[in-house]
Structure 1
Amino acid sequence: MNLRANPLSSGDGVLRAGAFVWRFDTSPSPLSRIYRVRIEMAQERSPRTFIETPDLAELAGGRDLPHVYHNPTRLCLYLPGTSEWQPWMRIDQTIVPWSALWLWYFEDWLASGEWKGGGVHPSGHDRELGRPPRLRFRDQTGVHA
């Protein structure tokens, strides 16, 4: 209900036992392209956010995409294990605006080559040792993009 009522996330979805998929179109600014976003949520799991169109890798022109998880490519919107997102939080008030904010920084990165969205990104060495990611920088809002 909240997703449907929120003008930022009005779209369509499919609800199944213990899971749902929500799709909506968004544009991070009036001058931006329109992106088709898919949010998948399953019981006992955090929401997963994907950009269906346009193809982010194609837009990046061969550059490695910043702040995404791979295989398949999904957006890194918050740092897991830090309580930035909790199951009681409303998707339309968290994941939806965080997705638009991520896209804002993505478009800036396309033009500048620099990710200005802040956030945490684990180094390869941290992953090999099983260490938690080290904080590199964060934006003024405290949102990890």
Structure 2
Amino acid sequence: MVSKIYYKNPEIGLAVQMLNLIQMYPQSKCYIKSNILNWECILRPTEGSQKYLVRIEYKPGYMPKSYVLSPELKRYHSLPLPHVYSELPFPRLCLFYPKAKEWTGNMLLAKSIVPWICEWLFFYELSLVTGEWHADEIKHIGNKNG
């Protein structure tokens, strides 16, 4: 009997992640310190949108963390911000459901997390008008913000 050997796809190294982020977003700032990649960039989800300064923090073996640094995000009629893990000191965005393994370390941040941030910002702006979150979502048990 022949047994199958399964190989886990290796995580993409921080230097490769950094190179791709800088190549795809040359206006961004990126550095690696203490084995953590830090990336900041001004993103604009649509031509009619305002500009947002965002940050990604990524340490291999952990999920990337994404934040909106400025401007301060508004709320619809004083409701909590939708789809954030925390609001202080900066809103940490809920971009995907980690248990569903929608993001893995063998994916490029520049081709996954950054577009997902833009998509989150688009739906955030839409929610300011409608009061509803129009993106696909998984309701988190015990988390009012989803």
TM bucket by the smaller chain? Answer: 0.7 to 0.9
Q: Which runs of 5+ in 2 are unaligned?
A: 1-18
Report the AA paired with residue 55 of structure 1. E
Question: Which of 76, 85, 93 is residue 94 of structure 2 equivalent to?
Answer: 76
Partner of 1:110: 128
The CA deviation string for residues 87-125 of structure 1, in whole angstroms up to 9 with x for no partner, is 01000000000000000000000011010012112132x
Partner of 2:15: none
- Paired residues, number: 123
3-state SS in 2 of match to 1:120: coil
Identity between Structure 1 and Structure 2 (%): 31
Give the Cα separation in 2 of the matches to 1:10 and 1:117: 28
Q: Is the counterpart of residue 63 in structure 1 residue 75 in structure 2?
A: no
Report the AA paired with residue 75 of structure 1. L
Report the AA paired with residue 85 of structure 1. W
3-state SS in 1 of match to 2:119: helix
Deviation at 1:10, TM superposition (A): 3.9
Higher relative contact order (CA 8 A, sep 6+): 2
Deviation at 1:71, TM superposition (A): 5.2
Q: Which runs of 4+ in 1 moved over 3 A?
A: none
Deviation at 1:62, TM superposition (A): 2.1
Q: Could you tell which deviates more after superposition, 94-103 or 35-44?
A: 35-44
Structure exhibiting the larger radius of gyration computed from Cα positions: 2
User: Any conservation in 2 of the 1:67–1:121 contact (CA below 8 Å)?
Assistant: no
TM-score by length of 2: 0.78
The CA deviation string for residues 112-140 of structure 1, in whole angstroms up to 9 with x for no partner, is 1010012112132xx7xxxxxxxxxxxxx
The CA deviation string for residues 47-83 of structure 1, in whole angstroms up to 9 with x for no partner, is 0000000111xx1152211111015331000101212
Give the Cα separation in 2 of the matches to 1:65 and 1:121: 15
